[in-house]
Amino acid sequence: MPEPAIQPDDAPLYKRVLIKVSGEALMGDLSYGQDDQIIDRISKDIKEVARMGVQVCIVVGGGNIYRGMSAAARGMERSSADYMGMLATVLNALAVQNSLEREGLDTRVLSAIHMMEICEPYIRRRALRHLERGRVVIFAAGTGNPFFTTDTAAALRASEMGCDALLKGTQVDGVYTSDPRKDKKAKHIEKLSYLDVLSRDLKVMDAPAISLARESHIPILVFSIHEQGQFARVLAGKGKHTIITE
């Protein structure tokens, strides 16, 4: 059954959100790298949400590029390998920024690693100001520290920005009892608690990210990033997803 369409009078459930987009989501069917058509489609979805009056932050992963560098990183000291991954997220952030600006959105990339000639350094007050002015803010380079994933960076930035919700765009439309791509009997779970995710070791986001969202009382909405228009439908309460909350 097709998802219900967004109507002009549909009000979003949240006014300020952060969406975590994995590097793998930007890869499409490629073995590694960026699929321009996928990035443009995701940008259209973000534009639709921005037109609903929602302030949008984005955290991008780097797995699509880092996968191509994995051989070079094999045997490397962990911190150095993690910094390579952070730089990969900057490449993705710039690609997403370019696509969003072609859609007519005003954007800013803020990096946790300073590279002034390329993007702005992450400063919390500056990021908030950009959001208040209607700009889409893209956070790059994770937290700027090794040993922390971009999931944790997403929860951290959502907390710092005072977001009403953290959305995780994945390969499937929510959390299931098992992998629905492998198990036809897998059942969709509509609602979970943070403690459910932690105690059952569900691979939604890593444990530090879940714990931080719990401490900040930020609900996590898991949905399919591959269904066009689903981002807006979820924010309007119409799209299929799983919500993780108290």
C-beta separation of 120 from 126 below 8 A: yes
CATH topology of domain 16-245: Carbamate kinase (3.40.1160)
Q: What is the C-alpha to C-alpha distance for residues 217 and 211, in angstroms, rounded to an integer?
A: 10
CA distance 240 to 225: 11
pTM: 0.92
Residues 207-245 pLDDT 10s: 999 999 999 999 999 999 999 999 999 999 999 999 999
pLDDT per residue as tens digits for the range 65-108: 876 556 555 778 888 888 988 999 999 999 999 999 999 999 99
Cross-strand pairs, 121? 111
Q: What is the pLDDT of residues 37-61, one digit of tens each?
A: 999 999 999 999 999 999 999 999 9
- Give residues with Cβ within 8 angstroms of 211, minimum separation 6: 194, 198
